[in-house]
């Protein structure tokens, strides 16, 4: 921790009410669909009913003539994007992105956008959609990843040539890439094992399930400038991608961040913003588009289904000797599955000398797969943790001791390259080991399951400004949307550095014209990286205060120190001066150099990887296969919990999502390639009565890369639950389930088969 080691914090680690809280509990807070502009039109999108088809023609003439319709667009209204990556955009393929936002000459999934209208009412817009005549030539489709990897599978694109294989293919296929990460020689090392367990695991696509559907209001003015209101996980990303897709200058677009009703990675990319802008331009009126829940399931970015082989070998005493995994991930209609991240994270909790992770990605006729909280890792962890648990069972070893014995720690070499610095894996394992849950006896049909998980976290670009008002109160501004209470954390960090009361710090999320660039909220980076920018901006203010006081006292700046929000003489040589508060210094700002403004713009390095260990008890009804989660404990290393309540909240929320992923959530497709459960009735996320209280234990092994020791916390919690639940079910039933989700019919069939 740079400069704050051993310091007693006044604000960091406390649990005050969040600054944006009152607006949220009164319904005043403005989310994406709450914005209304005068003259606003309603936009609606026409979506493909076919999983795979050529678009032969689109006739919009009848729709355009309908009274009340002000604009109609199709893919041809978008600028023609050629293949390839535009420089500076770090791997975004704008041809694919544009195609996903509105189909070019093919539809690639049920729900793919093909046209859009803007009209004076929702009813008229819907009537207009029904008048658009699209002629399709239906093509064979492929939904399953293993099917898509086979030669001869229906081809989605003619420009995908598998990377990472030799020789380089000369024919296109659906196989996007092969990746490999390896340490040592696992194939040889397996020979030293006393026991080797190998299994194949499968899972289905799941959705992030945020309760707020995507929403945007776009306004166009005659000088070519554009304002967008939307909720997102990164309004700078919205600005950049919209500008590139519409061939506009970035600064022509101003994105105003609405409050966001959940994202979990699914709102780190755009789906409807350029469509709204084009409609607004054509209609010469603002246009609002709000997705229906059906559209959210069919037309946004769920997490991929997978097919995974894992093989682990161990000695009789539980020492792991070798591990390999092959991870086959769907990509949806366009490349972009997180299989690389899966390979990086899968074996993270274990110190292995001989390990290999291989990943394959195949496109399928489904919506574009996108990020969902530790993308790639939960399924990989499910597979690995299931095998580890089975090894413990077969060797008659305590599963927790087995993980301690082989646990990653400081100095462990990760398969993707770096060696770990100080981390909290063993601390989490010990916390679970010592937890009272272990003393609770289990009844019939009950089982206890354990799993560990790892995520590497990210740093990246953030900007922040700290403005001190004439009375010493502070307004702090960043460009990171508040997805989980981060305003409170920013205010706590600023209050700590400035040395003023938390309630005197007002944090706001600035729009793209008001504050410097901020990367999307991914990699659990907001408290870490945007927080670091806030800290630096506040330190900038502190330095300026010291400089101004130094002038007033006619001493060197080194003779002035800052403590508890006051400038003080650093030693006797500074003279006998009374301390000056921030308020007093601010009152004199005009006379001492001008407004007191601190700023920082960084590309943060030093993100700390983090570990979590979960344990849970389940009961399985042996006659129906129904699973009840009785108890759940999750321990996680947060580095330093700035606001512990919100760290606990991240852990509990990730656990709930993982439980749903393990037990009930799945995309269900018919043989026709159409999604059958595009609503919350049959896409079953956990409800309040499905879960017990979730005991969240925060460990703090400070991350040396952050001034306060912060590690990202948002993603780790979703990694262990799939394994923990599956292992608990295995212990309760005696059957190892390898096919997620573990629905009652599947569990009952497995129990009955075992009899």
Partner 1 sequence: MSGFQYEAPATVDAAVGLLAGARGNARVLAGGTDLLVQLRTGAAQPDLVVDIKRIPELRQISGNAASGFVIGAAVSGSEIGEHKELLKAWPGVVEGMELIGSTQIQGRATPGGNLCNASPAGDCTPGLVAAGAICVIAGPSGRREVPVEQVPVSPGKTSLAKGEFVVAFKLPARAKNSGDAYLRMIPRTEMDIAIVGAVVNLTLDASGTCTAARVSLGAVAPTVLLVDAAAKALIGTRVDDAALANLAAAASAAAKPIDDKRGTIEYRTKVAGVLARRAAVIARDRARSNA
Partner 2 sequence: MSKFHISTTVNGEAVEYLCDPRQTLLDVLRDELNLTGSKEGCSSGDCGACSVTLDGRLVCSCLVLGVEVQGRAVETIESMASDEKLHPLQQKFLEAAALQCGFCTPGFLVAAKALLEKNPNPTESEARYWLAGNLCRCTGYDKIIRAVLETAADMRGSK
Q: Which residues bind partner 1 (CB under 8 A)?
A: 123, 126, 623-626, 628, 663-664, 668, 676-677, 681-682, 684, 686-687, 689-690, 743-745, 748-749, 752
How many residues bind partner 2 (CB under 8 A)? The answer is 60
Q: Which does 739 bind (CB under 5 to 8 A by kind): partner 1, partner 2, none?
A: none
Residue with Cβ nearer partner 2 (291 or 751): 291
Indicate the residue among 302 and 359 with the shorter CB distance to partner 2: 302
CA-to-CA separations, 490 to 469, 504, 534, in angstroms, rounded: 18, 13, 7
Q: Which is nearer to partner 1, 195 or 691 (CB)?
A: 691
Q: Which of 4, 10, 21, 172 binds partner 2 (CB under 8 A)?
A: 21
Q: Which C-beta is closer to partner 1: that of 34 or that of 126? A: 126
Question: What's the per-residue H, E or C state across 65-101?
Answer: HCCCEEEEEEHHHCCCCCCCECCCCCCCEHHHHHHHH
- For partner 2, the closer CB: 263 or 447: 263
Query: Which of 461, 441, 614 is CA-nearest to residue 523?
Result: 461
Side-chain half-sphere CA neighbours of 305 within 13 A: 25
N-term to C-term CA, the chain: 57
Pick what 359 binds: partner 2, partner 1, none; C-beta below 5 to 8 Å, kind-dependent.
Answer: none
C-alpha 199/C-alpha 183 separation (Å) is: 21
Partner whose binding site includes residue 745, from partner 2, partner 1, none (CB under 5 to 8 Å by kind): partner 1
Residue closer to partner 1, measured from CB, 77 or 126: 126
Residue 118 in contact with residue 287, Cβ under 8 Å?
yes
Residue 748's binding partner, choosing from partner 1, partner 2, none, with beta-carbon cut-off 5 to 8 A by kind?
partner 1
Q: Measured between alpha carbons, how far is residue 664 from residues 203, 468, 622, 684 in Å?
A: 11, 50, 18, 6
Nearer to partner 1, 572 or 688 (CB): 688
**Considering only CA atoms, which of 579, 591, 606 is closest in space to residue 422?**
606
Q: Which of 687, 734, 749, 752 binds partner 2 (CB under 8 A)?
A: 687
Tell me which of partner 2, partner 1, none is bound by residue 664, counting a contact when its beta carbon lies within the kind-specific cut-off of 5 to 8 angstroms: partner 1
Helical (H) or strand (E) element with 568: strand 566-569
DSSP state of 343: H
Residue 559 DSSP one-character state? G
Which region among 438-446, 462-470, 649-657, 744-752 touches partner 2 (by CB under 8 A)? 649-657
To partner 2, the closest distance from the beta carbon of 260 in angstroms equals 6
Partner whose footprint covers residue 648, from partner 2, partner 1, none (CB < 5 to 8 Å by kind)? partner 2
CA distance 415 to 325: 12
54 touching partner 2, by CB under 8 A:
no
Token digits of residue 746: 């599947």
Q: x-or-dash pattern for partner 2, window 105-124, by CB under 8 A?
A: ------------------x-
- Considering only 49, 186, 213, 702, the residue that binds partner 2 (CB under 8 A) is 213
- The reply on whether position 629 binds partner 2 by CB under 8 A is no
Report yes or no: 255 and 230 within 8 Å, Cβ to Cβ: yes
The listed partner (partner 1, partner 2, none) that binds 743, CB under 5 to 8 Å by sort, is partner 1
Question: Torsion angle, CA of 491/497/499/501, rounded to 10 degrees?
Answer: 10
Residue 657 contacts which entry, partner 2, partner 1, none (Cβ below 5-8 A, type-dependent): partner 2
Q: How far apart are CA 263 and CA 602, in angstroms?
A: 24
Q: Which is nearer to partner 2, 260 or 341 (CB)?
A: 260
Residue of the chain from 82, 87, 91, 688 that contacts partner 2 (CB under 8 A): 688
Phi, psi of 630 (to 5 degrees): -85, -45
Question: Under the criterion CB under 8 A, does residue 210 sit at the interface with partner 2?
Answer: yes
Burial class (CB in 10 A: 0-12, 13-18, 19+), 575: exposed
What strands, in cross-sheet order, belong to the sheet with 175-183?
Answer: 175-183, 355-362, 320-330, 306-314, 195-203
Query: Considering only residues 255, 283, 341, 483, which one is a binding residue for partner 2 as defined by CB under 8 A?
Result: 483
Shortest reach from residue 609's CB to partner 2, in Å: 23
648 is a contact residue toward partner 2 (CB under 8 A): yes
Q: What's the alpha-carbon Rg for the chain, to the nearest Å? A: 27
CB burial of residue 282 (10 Å; 0-12, 13-18, 19+): middle
Question: From partner 2, partner 1, none, which one binds at residue 572 (CB under 5 to 8 Å depending on kind)?
Answer: none
Taking the least distance from each CB to partner 2, the nearer of 78 and 264 is 264
Which of partner 2, partner 1, none does residue 624 bind (CB under 5 to 8 Å by kind)?
partner 1
Angle at 402 between CA 397 and CA 406, to 5 degrees: 155
Q: Which of residues 139-198 bind partner 2 (CB under 8 A)?
A: none
Q: Cα(698)–Cα(732) distance, rounded to whole angstroms? A: 28
| Residue that is written with structure tokens 């695991």 in the block | 201
Per-residue 3-state assignment (H helix, E strand, C coil) for 215-265: EEEEEECCCCCEEEEECCCCHHHHHHHHHHHCCCCHHHEEEEECECCCCCC
Contact region for partner 2 (CB under 8 A) — 146-154, 269-277, 535-543, 638-646? Answer: 638-646
Q: Which residues of 2-35 are buried (b: 16+ CB within 10 A; e: fewer)?
A: eebeeeeebbbbbebebbbeeeeeeeebebbbeb
Binding mask 257-296 for partner 2 (x = CB under 8 A): --xxxxxx-------------------------x-xx---
Residues 657-676 touching partner 2, rule: CB under 8 A, are 657
Tokens of 409: 């720690």
Which residues share a beta bridge with 259?
A: 31
Q: Among 596, 685, 710, 748, which residue interacts with partner 2 (rule: CB under 8 A)? A: 685
For the CB of residue 305, give the shortest distance to partner 1 in the complex, in Å: 16
Given partner 1, partner 2, none, residue 626, with its beta carbon under 5 to 8 Å by kind, binds partner 1
Q: Which of 627, 639, 638 lies closest to 732, judged by CA?
A: 627
Question: With CB under 8 A as the contact rule, which of the stretches 13-21, 86-94, 163-171, 669-677 interacts with partner 2?
Answer: 13-21
Which one of partner 2, partner 1, none interacts with residue 544, CB within 5 to 8 A by kind?
none
Using DSSP, how many helices (H) and how many strands (E) does the chain show?
20, 26
Identify which of residues 550 and 748 has a Cβ nearer to partner 1 in the complex.
748
Span near partner 2 by CB under 8 A; candidates 143-151, 173-181, 205-213, 437-445: 205-213
Asked if residue 31 binds partner 2 (CB under 8 A), the reply is yes
Residues of the shown chain interacting with partner 2 in the complex, contacts defined by CB under 8 A: 15, 17-18, 20-22, 24-31, 33-34, 36, 123, 208-213, 259-264, 290, 292-293, 483-485, 643, 645-646, 648-650, 652-657, 679-681, 685-689, 691, 693-694, 696
């Amino acid at each position: 921790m740079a400069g704050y080691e051993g310091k007693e914090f006044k604000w960091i680690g406390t649990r005050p009410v969040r600054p944006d809280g009152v607006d949220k509990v009164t319904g005043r807070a403005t989310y994406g669909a709450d914005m209304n502009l005068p003259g606003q039109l309603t936009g609606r999108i026409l979506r493909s009913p076919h999983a795979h088809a050529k678009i032969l023609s689109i006739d919009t003439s009848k729709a355009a003539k309908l009274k009340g319709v002000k604009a109609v667009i199709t893919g041809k209204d978008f600028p023609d994007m050629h293949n390839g990556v535009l420089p500076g955009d770090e791997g975004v393929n704008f041809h694919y992105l544009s195609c996903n936002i509105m189909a070019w000459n093919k539809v690639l999934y049920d729900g793919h956008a093909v046209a859009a209208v803007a009209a004076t009412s929702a009813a008229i817009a819907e009537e207009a959609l029904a008048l658009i005549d699209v002629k399709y030539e239906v093509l064979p489709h492929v939904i399953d990843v293993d099917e898509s990897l086979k030669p001869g599978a229906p081809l989605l694109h003619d420009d995908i040539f598998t990377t990472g294989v030799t020789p380089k293919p000369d024919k296109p296929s659906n196989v996007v890439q092969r990746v490999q990460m390896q340490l040592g020689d696992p194939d040889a090392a397996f020979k030293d094992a006393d026991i080797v367990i190998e299994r194949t695991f499968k899972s289905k696509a799941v959705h992030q399930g945020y309760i707020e559907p995507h929403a945007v209001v776009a306004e166009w003015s005659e000088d070519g400038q554009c304002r967008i209101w939307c909720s997102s996980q990164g309004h700078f990303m919205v600005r950049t991608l919209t500008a590139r897709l519409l061939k506009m200058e970035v600064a022509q677009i101003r994105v105003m961040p609405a409050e966001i009703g959940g994202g979990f990675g699914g709102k780190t990319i755009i789906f409807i913003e350029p469509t709204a802008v084009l409609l607004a331009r054509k209609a010469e009126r603002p246009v609002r588009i709000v997705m229906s829940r059906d559209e959210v399931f069919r037309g946004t970015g769920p997490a991929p289904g997978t097919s995974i082989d894992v093989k682990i070998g161990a000695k009789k005493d539980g020492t792991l000797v070798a591990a390999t995994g092959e991870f086959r991930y769907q990509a949806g209609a366009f490349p972009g599955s997180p299989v690389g991240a899966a390979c990086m994270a899968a074996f993270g909790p274990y110190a292995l000398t001989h390990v290999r992770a291989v990943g394959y990605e195949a496109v399928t006729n489904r919506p574009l797969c996108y990020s969902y909280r530790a993308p790639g890792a939960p399924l990989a962890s499910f597979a690995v943790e299931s095998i580890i648990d089975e090894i413990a069972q077969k060797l008659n070893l305590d599963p927790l001791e087995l993980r301690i014995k082989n646990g990653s720690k400081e100095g462990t070499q990760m398969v993707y390259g770096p060696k770990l610095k100080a981390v909290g894996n063993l601390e989490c394992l010990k916390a679970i080991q010592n937890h009272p849950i272990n003393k609770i006896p289990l009844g019939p049909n009950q089982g206890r399951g354990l799993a560990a998980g790892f995520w590497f976290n990210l740093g990246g670009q953030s900007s922040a400004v700290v403005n001190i008002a004439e009375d010493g109160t502070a307004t702090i501004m960043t460009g990171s949307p508040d997805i989980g209470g981060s305003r409170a954390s920013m205010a706590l960090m600023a209050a700590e550095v400035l040395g003023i009361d938390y309630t005197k710090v007002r944090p706001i999320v600035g729009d793209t014209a008001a504050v410097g660039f901020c990367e999307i909220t991914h990699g659990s980076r907001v408290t870490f990286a945007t927080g670091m920018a806030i800290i630096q901006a506040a330190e900038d203010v502190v330095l300026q205060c010291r400089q101004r006081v130094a002038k007033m006292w006619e001493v060197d700046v080194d003779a002035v120190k800052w403590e508890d929000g006051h400038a003080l003489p650093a030693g006797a040589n500074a003279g006998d001066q009374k301390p000056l508060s921030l308020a007093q210094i601010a009152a004199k700002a005009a006379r001492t150099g001008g407004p007191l403004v601190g700023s920082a713009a960084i590309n943060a390095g030093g993100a700390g990887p983090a570990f979590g260990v979960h344990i849970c008890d389940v009961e399985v009804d042996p006659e129906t296969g129904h699973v009840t989660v009785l108890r759940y404990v999750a321990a996680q290393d947060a580095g330093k919990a700035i606001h512990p309540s919100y760290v606990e909240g991240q852990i509990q929320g990730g656990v709930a999502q993982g439980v749903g992923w393990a037990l009930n959530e799945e995309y269900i497709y018919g043989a026709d390639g159409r999604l059958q459960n595009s609503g919350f009735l049959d896409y079953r996320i956990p409800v309040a009565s499905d879960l017990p209280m979730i005991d969240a234990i925060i460990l703090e092994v400070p991350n040396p890369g952050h001034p306060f020791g912060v590690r990202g916390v948002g993603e780790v919690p979703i990694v262990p639950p799939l394994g923990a639940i599956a292992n608990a079910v295995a212990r309760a039933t005696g059957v190892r389930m390898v096919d997620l989700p573990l629905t009652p019919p599947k569990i009952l069939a497995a129990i009955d088969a075992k009899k």
